[in-house]
Amino acid sequence: MKSLKNTILGSIYCCSLQTGYSPNPNTIISHLENKMELGKDFYLDKIIELEKNGYLRIIKNIYDEKSFDFRCQLTELGRSVIKVVFVGGVFDLLHPGHIHTLKSAKSLGDILVVVVATTSTALKIKKDRNIYHDEMQRRELVEALSFVDLSIVGKEGTLYDTVKFVKPDIIALGYDQSHNEKEIQKNCSNLGLNLEVIRLSSPIPKIKSTIIKKNLGNTFYDI
């Protein structure tokens, strides 16, 4: 199990990504208590301790240490100690292959960020694809998995627009995704992103969303 320090720093990272700004302790603690209910005072003390050790900065000139009236931002040191893993996909129909892939990706680092493709992006990649759920529904399906730290809808445009936003340490590709590892590595390097690209395997490669949907046909919603 990862350290409490990394758990708290990871939650600050996730909340920052989710909200688009430096989160306050209420937001951070709410995210943390979904994992471990240790109490607000306990977490607040740990946040203050991490600030004193240089892992984060408090954004306010004067603050009351027992007040939640300030915001937190990771320092370079704080960000450097957590490893963020990026996985992208459509995730219209979750199946055991997805679960194995996502769990394998999570084992590579501290934070698993799953990026759900917009419907328009998914259709650009495969025009004849049948998509049953919109991107927000698909995001909610993925985020319901306990080992997923954060699920977001990808940005319109290219993969790299979302990668620049997340700034992961690792991009984990599914065994059957069409992306080329070396090409992604090169393009990210050209953008100034220092990361690793890993291709994951699957013990059950014959289980695929396209096959399941084909077999179910229009009966999908009757399940």
Residues 9 and 56: beta-carbon distance below 8 Å: yes
Minimum mean pLDDT range among 27-31, 73-77, 88-92, 146-150: 88-92
The token duo for 32 is: 């943390």
Q: Decide which of 60, 80, 100 is a domain's last residue.
A: 80
The total domain count for the chain is 2
Range of the domain at 116: 84-222
51 vs 12, 74, 141, CA distance in Å?
12, 9, 34
CATH of the domain at 207: 3.40.50.620
Do residue 57 and residue 112 come from a single domain?
no
**What value does the mean pLDDT take over residues 212-217?**
50
120 backbone dihedrals φ, ψ, rounded to 5°: -65, -40
Q: How far, rounded to the nearest angstrom, does the alpha carbon of residue 8 sit from its chain's CA centroid?
A: 15
State yes or no: pLDDT of 219 exceeds 60.
Answer: no
Do residue 114 and residue 193 come from a single domain?
yes
The token duo for 116 is: 């759900």
In the block, residue with structure tokens 């000139």: 61
| Predicted confidence (pLDDT) per residue in 161-196, tens digit | 999 999 999 999 877 666 788 888 899 899 999 999
Q: Decide which of 27, 58, 80 is a domain's last residue.
A: 80
Do residue 73 and residue 93 come from a single domain?
no
Do residue 133 and residue 55 come from a single domain?
no
The predicted structure's pLDDT at residue 210: 55
The token duo for 75 is: 């320092």
Do residue 91 and residue 74 come from a single domain?
no
The predicted structure's pLDDT at residue 222: 47
Do residue 57 and residue 97 come from a single domain?
no
Do residue 66 and residue 113 come from a single domain?
no
In the block, residue with structure tokens 């328009």: 120
Q: Decide which of 28, 50, 80 is a domain's last residue.
A: 80
Amino acid at 43: Y
Minimum mean pLDDT range among 48-57, 112-121, 142-151: 112-121
State yes or no: pLDDT of 59 exceeds 90.
Answer: no
